[in-house]
Chain A
Amino acid sequence: MLQTLADTLVYDLLGLSAQSMLGAALNFFIYDSIKIFLMLSIIIFFVSILRSYFPAERTKKLLSHRRQFFGNIAAALLGIVTPFCSCSAVPVFIGFIESGVPLGITFSFLIASPMVNEVAVIMLWGLLGWKIMLIYIISGLVIAIIAGIIMGRLRLERFVQDYVYEMKLGENEIADQSLRERMEYAANYTRQILKKVGLYVIIAIAIGGFIHGYAPEDLLVQYAGRDSILAVPAAVLIGVPLYSNAAGIMPIITVLIQKGLSLGTALAFMMAVTALSFPEMIILRNVLKTPLLVIFVVILFISIMFTGYLFNFLM
């Protein structure tokens, strides 16, 4: 239905030919922007209602004194549904540790939460289909679980800033919300997200449309095809400074895949953008001593690269 709308607009009303580059680019742009905005509005609204049932305070209780492995799985899964912004990383970390959530399990949560974030996942779904979205979610969860288990095994507790262990969390009952309040919150949150990412999405889809219409099909095959060894680390390094811009990255990645960027490299790139965020590392420096922060970054780096090579090899 959306395709018909885009076709009518571009080919009938504007009179552009479907074979012309401008026609193809414009059609792509209109179709994708409408689709992405519809998906973002509807899905974020419902996800926010679901999330309001999983505040960090409840997640913390669910994870406290859990055992390795099952605890890591639970933490990674809760990382998806618990509302989390990297600006809250420090209080969340302290709250978890203070209430007895093991360090490795805390890291599983801290990795999964930004990586499997709603905006990135919805855009992947809308642009590349549910299979690639699932591959992304599952590999993100596996990375969060394994990295958390490894970090738990390494017994790194001494590298947490000492004051963290001295913190006492005040008691606080957060009032229960009615469904109406949850819906109001969800509508509000959806509006905030759309306002925040809207412009990036439009610009990115426009650039995507341009590449789609004008660039040759095999543009990237030579440099970033599945056989290119250096493509994965290069993609990760490029991804790190692009933090928190998942919304603007996804449309461009999509067209690059159509132009020959291999899936593994694309996955590694997206994960570096969402999970290896530079400002979040600086924030985490407040609670982690340097050796632990370095170990955390290195383990994430290696897992993301491994995922990239694995999917380049498999697909």
Chain B
Amino acid sequence: MKIEILGMGCAKCKDLYMAAEQAVQEVGIEAQINKVEDIKQIMQYGVMTTPALVIDGKVRAAGKVISKDEIKQML
């Protein structure tokens, strides 16, 4: 599974990254978490508000920091 966190490095992006990390750990699955900070790449996902969460190429949340539990449900 591939998880991407889109955002140009703001505080909220770090929060989302941490939430995703914890969620993956608690669910106990194999997943690769990447930060995508390049604006051109971010725009390719059709996302205008950051931070955004992308799981296996699909945008699951944009413009908000969702909680660890919400991410766990998505996994």
Contact (Cβ within 8 A) B64 A174? no
Q: Does B33 contact A (CB under 8 A)?
A: no
Q: Does A85 contact B (CB under 8 A)?
A: yes
Question: Interface centre among A163, A169, A172, by most B CB within 10 Å?
Answer: A172
Residue of B nearest to A192 (CB): B65
- Contacts between chains A and B (CB distance < 8 A), count: 74
Q: Name the B residues within 8 Å of A185 (CB-CB).
A: 64
Q: Name the B residues within 8 Å of A170 (CB-CB).
A: 43-46
Contact (Cβ within 8 A) B59 A174? yes
Q: Name the B residues within 8 Å of A192 (CB-CB).
A: 65
The docked-state distance in angstroms from the alpha carbon of A283 to that of B46 is 20
Q: From DSSP, what is the main secondary structure of chain B's interface residues?
A: loop
Interface string of B39-57 (1 = CB under 8 A from A): 1101111111110000000
- Which of B11, B44, B59 contacts A168 (CB under 8 A)? B44
Interface string of A75-100 (1 = CB under 8 A from B): 00000000111011011101100100
The docked-state distance in angstroms from the alpha carbon of A88 to that of B47 is 10
- Which of A87, A169, A171 contacts B50 (CB under 8 A)? A87
CB of B60 to closest CB in A, whole Å: 8
Number of B interface residues in the complex (CB < 8 A): 25
Q: Name the B residues within 8 Å of A90 (CB-CB).
A: 8, 39
Q: A94-B39, A188-B67 are in contact. Are A84 and B49 (CB under 8 A)?
A: yes
Number of A interface residues in the complex (CB < 8 A): 30
Q: A85-B12, A91-B48, A92-B48 are in contact. Are A55 and B62 (CB under 8 A)?
A: yes
Q: A94-B39, A174-B62 are in contact. Are A87 and B46 (CB under 8 A)?
A: no
* Interfacial residues of chain B within 56-75, with CB under 8 A of chain A in the complex: 59-60, 62-67
Q: A87-B8, A90-B8, A172-B59 are in contact. Are A167 and B46 (CB under 8 A)?
A: no
B residues at A contact (CB < 8 Å): 7-8, 10-13, 39-40, 42-50, 59-60, 62-67
Q: Name the B residues within 8 Å of A171 (CB-CB).
A: 46
Residue of A nearest to B63 (CB): A83
Q: List 24 A-B contacts (CB under 8 A).
A: A55-B49, A55-B63, A56-B48, A56-B49, A57-B46, A83-B49, A85-B10, A85-B63, A87-B8, A87-B10, A87-B12, A87-B50, A90-B8, A91-B8, A92-B48, A92-B49, A95-B48, A168-B44, A170-B44, A172-B45, A175-B60, A188-B64, A188-B67, A189-B64
The docked-state distance in angstroms from the alpha carbon of A286 to that of B39 is 10
Give 5 nearest A-B pairs by CB, closest first: A172-B46, A87-B10, A95-B48, A170-B46, A56-B48
Residue of A nearest to B6 (CB): A91
Residue of A nearest to B65 (CB): A192
Residue of B nearest to A175 (CB): B60
Q: Does A60 contact B (CB under 8 A)?
A: yes
Question: Interface centre among B43, B48, B50, B65, by most A CB within 10 Å?
Answer: B48
Residue of B nearest to A196 (CB): B11
- Which of A83, A169, A189 contacts B46 (CB under 8 A)? A169
Q: A84-B49, A85-B12, A87-B50 are in contact. Are A95 and B63 (CB under 8 A)?
A: no
Q: Name the A residues within 8 Å of B62 (CB-CB).
A: 55, 174
- Known: A56-B49, A57-B46, A286-B39; 5 extra A-B contacts, CB below 8 A, are A56-B63, A83-B49, A95-B48, A188-B67, A192-B65
